[in-house]
Structure 1
Amino acid sequence: MIRFAANLSMLFNEVPFLDRFKEARSCGFDGVEFLFPYDYSKAQLKEKLEAENLSQVLFNLPPGNWEKGERGIAGLPGRESEFQHSVEHALEYAEHLGCKRLHVMAGICPEDEQIELCFEVYLNNLAYVCEQASSAGITILIEPINTRSFPGYMLSHQAQARKVIDHLALPNLKLQMDFYHAQIMEGDLTTLIRHQMDYVGHVQIAGVPDRFEPSESEVNYDWIFSELSQTSYDGWTGCEYNPKENTKSSLKWLESAKSYFS
């Protein structure tokens, strides 16, 4: 059965980050995800998860220098040692928090580098992180991200991600399907659901085009949930959106969405 996870980087931002775990539980969430845990200690985060009986569903590897526009370092030539260190750091957090999914951001190919070289580095780094994560039973996820949000991002289409997964053929490498990004880049979401869910290790949702709640969207999420309920996917669906007004009022869609998977 599909379960919904609150993305604490975006939801419940009316309160400080460490208070958002309690807010998520009070609104009926059983799991949480967020972008990055590294500003907080493993002990702090585990305490919050255990206090609210929440599952840590997903977070990202360190992205490089986010403030300077870096959006992942997996595809950046010359940063391989840094990437390997980031893998070690992320796995320490994941094992401590019981998190079984990590998202590896591809990054933006520098203007002075050839995209072919960046992609070769990306593939090699993905093979490395999958090997390191395997013994801990952790799935590595790759996510196509729209180029309107992240111009120049190296992985932006679903077919591109499927080719990466097929090429590496690693059992713990899966697709993170975010319907917000997929709708912006290509649409045809029903076909994606019907024909590629075997690749998918995690789903995320948000309204399009403004990334508000799913009920504020050009996408018919009732249809999407109905289609998902007919697949074999039984993982988490991350609610990764910016509430139009406040988080609690943005969750009116959630109860009806849960009915598709009861």
Structure 2
Amino acid sequence: MQFSANLGFLWADRSLPAAIRAAKRAGFDAVECHWPYDVANEDVIAALSETGLEMVALNTRPGDVAAGDFGLAALPGRGPQARAAIDEAVEYGAAINARHVHVMAGKATGAEAAQVFAENLRYACARAARHDITILIEPINPDDAPGYFLTRTDQAVALIRAVGAGNLKLMFDCYHVQRTEGDVAGRLKTLLPWIGHIQFAAVPDRGPPDHGEVDYRSVFTLLRDVGYDRPLGAEYRPAGDTGASLAWLDWAKGI
């Protein structure tokens, strides 16, 4: 199996280029990040080139976090900001040759929010298609992000169907799915045609995948058996030093 280090959580105490280099030394096959925009893309490109790692994904900016924002794309009345965030993410992603951009929905409810999100996703997909980038949407559990618009995989698939763009996919985060819906293995099997990227962490503490409710040896074996050959995103919170949390990586890469 191949694994991607999510540098929003792993080596978060280092600069993004330094974290990319640390991920390479630790044995990861790829990297992903949250919001790289304060780092010159030339510095990220240099680190990726030096290590030979690809950047799997990055997120659109969340907006004004201090004011309660956690994404913009489903918020009525915030269209110009949402599209500016999409433009920025696609342009940055294209510059560093990222495979995916996760468009964050934000905290909203109702039919108008669904319509706004769909319109902004059509815009994002059109922009991303010029650079062979896939747009991702991610259901996030309501305990971690109260009020977030997108919470369930069936809601995400319905939205993907409604938008109708070939480069719009589901980001299946095993941690969030287990917290909200359960049956991670069963849902992976069912949803595989819709999935663009998979992330994981222990449930319920969001630690490394060597404990908790989800048996990740079984999950990774399932994905191997169905022929999933893309890097799986390690998006967990280390209790301390990232390097000390990586005992799982040896057995996981051997599956």
TM-score calculated relative to the size of structure 2: 0.96
**Match of 1:212?**
207
Q: Could you tell me how far 1:17 is from its partner in structure 2?
A: 3.8
2:61 maps to amino acid = P
Secondary structure (helix, strand or coil) at the match of 2:55 reads strand
- C-alpha contact (below 8 Å) 1:176/1:203 kept by paired residues: yes
User: Do the aligned residues in 1 keep the contact of 2:16 with 2:39 (CA within 8 Å)?
Assistant: no
The code of the aligned residue for 1:220 comes to D
Aligned to 2:94: 95
Aligned equivalent of 2:187: 192
Letter in 1 for 2:161: D
Percent identity of the aligned residues? 37
2:114 maps to what in 1? 119
Quick one: distance in 2 between partners of 1:81 and 1:14? 33
Q: How far apart are 1:65 and its partner, in Å? A: 1.0
Residue equivalent to 1:169: 164
Q: What SS does the corresponding residue of 1:238 show, helix, strand or coil?
A: strand
Contact 2:60 2:103 in 1 (8 A): yes
Structure 2 runs not aligned, ≥5 long: none
Q: 1:155: which partner in 2?
A: 150
The partner residue of 2:139 within 111, 122, 144 is: 144
- The residue that corresponds to 1:33 in the other structure is 32
Structure 1 gap ranges (5+):
none
Separation in 2, partners of 1:143, 1:231? 22
Root-mean-square deviation (Å):
1.3
Say whether the 8 Å CA contact 1:10–1:240 is kept in structure 2.
Answer: yes
- Equivalenced residue count is 255
Q: Distance in 1 between matches of 2:6 and 2:253?
A: 17
Compute the TM-score of the two structures, normalised by the length of structure 1. 0.93
Deviates more, 1:115-124 or 1:226-235: 226-235
Assess if the C-alpha contact under 8 Å between 1:102 and 1:138 holds in 2: yes
1:159-182 deviations in whole A, cap 9, x for unaligned? 111111112221000000000000
Secondary structure of the residue aligned to 1:43 is helix
Matches within 5 A, 1:1-262: 2-109=1-108, 115-260=110-255
Contact 2:3 2:234 in 1 (8 A): yes
- Hey, what's the Cα distance between the residues in 1 that align with 2:194 and 2:164? 11
The Cα of 1:14 is off from its aligned counterpart by 4.7
Give the counterpart letter for 2:201 in structure 1.
A
CA distance in 2 between counterparts of 1:121 and 1:220 reads 37
Tell me, yes or no, if the aligned pair for 1:14 and 1:246 is still in contact at 8 Å: no
**What's the CA shift string for 1:168-224, capped at 9, x where partnerless?**
221000000000000000101121121110100000010111111001322111111
CA distance in 1, matches of 2:149, 2:171: 15
Can you list the C-alpha shifts for 1:211-240, whole angstroms capped at 9, x where unaligned?
Answer: 110013221111111111122432221100
Distance (whole Å) between structure 2 residues aligned to residue 15 and residue 194 of structure 1 = 36
Give the distance between the partners of 1:14 and 1:119, measured in 2 at CA: 36
